[in-house]
Amino acid sequence: MNIVEEAFSRLFPEAAFTYAAHLRYSGRFKPYNATVRKAGSALYFNLSRSWKGTSDEIVIGLIQHLLVKILRKEKFFLAAAKNSAKGKIVSLNMQLYDDFIKGISEVAEVDDGGSDERLESSFNRVNEKYFFSLIEKPNLQWGSGSFRKLASYDYHTNAVIVSSLFSDAPEHLLDYLVYHELLHKKLKFSSSGNGRAVHHSSEFRALEQNFDGSNTIEDELNAFIRGMTFFRKRSIKNRSFKRAFNWRKLLLLR
């Protein structure tokens, strides 16, 4: 039995494995990334090379997360979910995987010379003001100039990534994005059990309110993005332009 089939049968002991599984390790991925694709009855798993050498029990958890994601509409999935506690598909391996990911964010290498000065100052301000300087410095990076994903925290590489749209933004807007992402680093995530991790818990939302001026800051962010959109209007495609005007979506910080 290959590892995909093993992962499957532990998750769905009642169901028959009727797929052709392909598993490939790739050096082109960021550390500990992985994707899955389904074409007919074939499942294609692409795992970052860094997964090689990780315990099979954890890799099984990873594959189970991917299986839950890609098979959620299958009949046997719905039947299994119906019969499980709270209608959720979870396993010991999936919990092991979650703990592993939380763990690697703590030990991922931090590139000390690599941070941009503005991001670094923002991190220091926010850490001092809101976290008693107790947060260890993560990797700090500018991302692409995305209008949709303003900022994110990558557990796999322990990196706070901020859209380069904000490279000249007012300090407090940048700080707010960094604050939000540091909350992710601090609180991590919990498993909802339906294949989705809960990143913005009620605790998270409550702490988010601690930021100075948090009640008006999302309006300010919108106004800032609107301004950027105006200046970039000619250079961005019509579709992303319309998308950028979908204010609601902009508020979905990742």
Binding site for Zn ion (CB under 5 A): 253
Nearer to Zn ion (CB atom), residue 51 or residue 179: 179
Instruction: Categorise residue 212: left if φ over 0, alpha if ψ from -120 to 50, beta otherwise.
Output: beta
User: In this chain, which residue has its C-beta nearest to Zn ion?
Assistant: 253
The values of phi and psi at residue 35, to 5°, are -135, 160
* 39 vs 16: CA distance, rounded Å: 18
* 214 vs 66: CA distance, rounded Å: 36
Nearer to Zn ion (CB atom), residue 68 or residue 160: 160
* 58 vs 113: CA distance, rounded Å: 32
Shortest Å distance, C-beta 209 to Zn ion:
14
Shortest Å distance, C-beta 180 to Zn ion:
6
Nearer to Zn ion (CB atom), residue 12 or residue 147: 147
Shortest Å distance, C-beta 138 to Zn ion:
14
**How many residues make up the chain in this entry?**
254
Nearer to Zn ion (CB atom), residue 49 or residue 156: 156
Nearer to Zn ion (CB atom), residue 2 or residue 210: 210
Shortest Å distance, C-beta 162 to Zn ion:
12
Shortest Å distance, C-beta 48 to Zn ion:
23
